[in-house]
Amino acid sequence: MTTSPFLSVVIPTYNRLPQLRQCLDALYRQVYPLSDCEIIVVDNGSTDDTGHFLAEMKPPSGVTLLTLREPKRGPAAARNTGIRHARGHVVLITGDDIIAAPDLLEQHATWHRRSPDERVVVLGLTTWTPDKPITPFMRWLENGGPQYKFWAIADRQNVFYGHFYTSNASAKRSFLLASGLFDEDFPYASHEDTELAFRMAQRGMRMVYNERAVGYHDHYTSLKDALRRMEKVGETEGLYRLKVCDEAPGAGLVRPASSESLLRRAGGQLKFSLWLLVGRAAERWAILPGVYSYLLERAHIAGLRRWTMQYATASEQKRRKRPSP
């Protein structure tokens, strides 16, 4: 009879083979006994050499590695697949671009052994890898900006559910299943973790922050990358509000434009274009919080407006198709 491991590590991946190699190499070098854990990689429809690499890879002796492949359905679906296949008592969710510190698994496992309550969730620290260039813009992103918000955690023993970041977080598998897993309606890696955490909080979740459980983020991020990301955050925020608050956000985001509002919008677009030039010129050598915050918030609003327009259009189409009484 095979003994189930205490810890299962779930890694969704999509077209990031170089980062995935580093991620797995770091997990193979953990101080935690690898005989007491399993690593599950879910290939979410990669079109690079990820599938071939996983099919041919032979993990080190003593390492239990399960590789799964599925069509591209998004990170929420990939994580759910990994969790359903997990045999561990505790599931650690991380990313394919996260390089685990040598004691990452030990830090998570120790917390859960000390806290057998099913509802205890452990949040680890995610920070930029020191082995790659870190621009001033990237430093601002994680220290005052919207890239995670560890700096805003007020109580490390009872963390607000909005800080449930799936780059480095663990929970009892039974609690994840009882909470309904990730909502696969979310197409991107944005708000799907917060929405699940909201449901876990309703079931009595207590999340603790262990900053000694460190995962290094190997993901160079430019201002252009962050703007694209924030548009997706805006889109998924609309879906999140609809599910959590049962209301469509952005009343007033979609309405006929008056000549005055068009002039205002044109002026706003000019300001955005000018500040974008400043931000792109400065991101490698200066921290300009006001500029970066303005640009990212504009991108966020653009994404939310896009989702709201799509939702309004879909709702109107449904209304027209509804048979008359």
Q: Which domains does the chain have, with CATH numbers?
A: 7-217 (3.90.550.10), 223-320 (no CATH)
What percentage of residues in the chain have a pLDDT greater than 70?
89
Residue 250 in this model has a pLDDT that exceeds 70: no
DSSP letter, residue 166: T
What mean pLDDT do residues 93-109 have?
Answer: 99
CA 42 vs CA 68, 86, 104: distances in Å: 5, 11, 20
Looking at every residue in the chain, the average pLDDT score rounds to 89
What percentage of residues in the chain have a pLDDT greater than 90?
73
Rounded to two decimals, the pTM is 0.89
Residue 259 in this model has a pLDDT that exceeds 50: no
**One-letter identity of residue 8:** S
Residue 100: strand pairing partners: 215
Q: Which among 73, 171, 155 has a CA at the least distance from the CA of 123?
A: 171
Could you tell me the sign of the dihedral formed by the alpha carbons of 186, 188, 193, 195, in that order? Answer: negative
Give the pLDDT of residue 232. Answer: 94
What mean pLDDT do residues 220-231 have?
Answer: 95
Lowest mean pLDDT among 19-23, 113-117, 238-242: 238-242
Residue 90: strand pairing partners: 7, 172
* pLDDT per position as a tens digit, 40-92: 999 999 999 999 999 999 999 999 999 999 999 999 999 999 999 999 999 99
pLDDT confidence tier of residue 275, bands split at 50, 70 and 90: confident
Give the pLDDT of residue 315. Answer: 64
Give the pLDDT of residue 263. Answer: 40
Q: What is the DSSP string of 14-68?
A: SS-HHHHHHHHHHHHT-SS-GGGEEEEEEEES--SSHHHHHHH--PPTT-EEEEE
Give the pLDDT of residue 14. Answer: 97
Tokens 């679906």 correspond to 77
pLDDT confidence tier of residue 2, bands split at 50, 70 and 90: low
Q: Which among 14, 164, 18 has a CA at the least distance from the CA of 75?
A: 14
Residue 321 in this model has a pLDDT that exceeds 70: no
Give the pLDDT of residue 253. Answer: 39
